[in-house]
Structure 1
Amino acid sequence: MTTHFRLIFTTCANENEARLLAQHLVKEKLAACVNILPTIESIYMWEGEVTQAKESKLLIKTKSEKMNEVIQTIKKLHSYEVPEIQVVDVATGNLAYFNWMDEVLN
């Protein structure tokens, strides 16, 4: 079974920013659901230095046709100069959940 759904990952500077972005995406029907992992620790290179930060991770569930608008919304509302945006194709899963997503995102 091939689906027309995407899972988009992003990180936010804190839980408040993550919550605001998630609420906006759901309210605007760009995402059916957004999970917030409130505290993760990230270690990454930034401007030539190893950086360590506490962040919040978002798991955004959406349809393929809404993906570009989700990406543009993240870029517009995000506090980071270069926000993480990774998109994963959803190959298969619970058909009842996908039906629910279709209803919510129409």
Structure 2
Amino acid sequence: MAPHYKLVLTTCENQDDAHQLAKQLIAQKLAACVNILPGVESVYMWQNEIVQQTETKLFIKTKADKISKMIQLIKELHSYEVPEIQVLDVNAGNLAYFHWMDEVLN
């Protein structure tokens, strides 16, 4: 299977922001499903300082043809100046799940 399906990772400052973003992604048919994991501890460098922060992680399931619009929407709605947006190829999995994604994202 070609990497037709994608998993997009991002973080939000809190659960409210994560829920709002997830609902917009679903409503605009840019994502079939978004898993929201609260309480993720992040440590990173920002403006020459080490930052330790609790964030909410999003695992976004989508298709390759949705990525450009999704990235644009995340950047527009996100509270961070530089939001994390990582796109991973999905190379195998449950074909029934992928068929469901196809139906949902049409």
TM-score range, shorter chain: over 0.9
- Structure 2 spans left out of the alignment, 5+ residues: none
Counterpart mapping for 1:9-88 below 5 A? 9-88=9-88
Q: Deviations over 1:10-50 (max 9, x none)?
A: 00000000000001100111000000001101000000010
Q: TM-score, normalised by structure 1?
A: 0.98
Q: Which amino acid aligns with 2:30?
A: L
Give the Cα–Cα distance (whole angstroms) in 2 for the partners of residues 59 and 39 of structure 1: 14
Q: Which amino acid aligns with 1:79?
A: S
Q: Which amino acid aligns with 2:77?
A: L
Give the Cα–Cα distance (whole angstroms) in 2 for the partners of residues 94 and 3 of structure 1: 14
Equivalent position of 1:8 in the other structure: 8
Q: CA deviation at 1:2?
A: 2.5
After the TM superposition, which of the residue ranges 83-92 and 1-10 deviates more from structure 2?
1-10
How many pairs were matched up?
Answer: 106
Runs ≥4 in structure 1, deviation > 2 angstroms? none
Give the Cα–Cα distance (whole angstroms) in 2 for the partners of residues 70 and 57 of structure 1: 16
Q: TM-score, normalised by structure 2?
A: 0.98
Give the Cα–Cα distance (whole angstroms) in 2 for the partners of residues 3 and 80 of structure 1: 29
- For the aligned residue pairs, the C-alpha RMSD in angstroms reads 0.7
Give the Cα–Cα distance (whole angstroms) in 1 for the partners of residues 71 and 89 of structure 2: 14
Q: Percent identity?
A: 62
Give the Cα–Cα distance (whole angstroms) in 2 for the partners of residues 3 and 86 of structure 1: 15
Q: CA deviation at 1:3?
A: 4.0
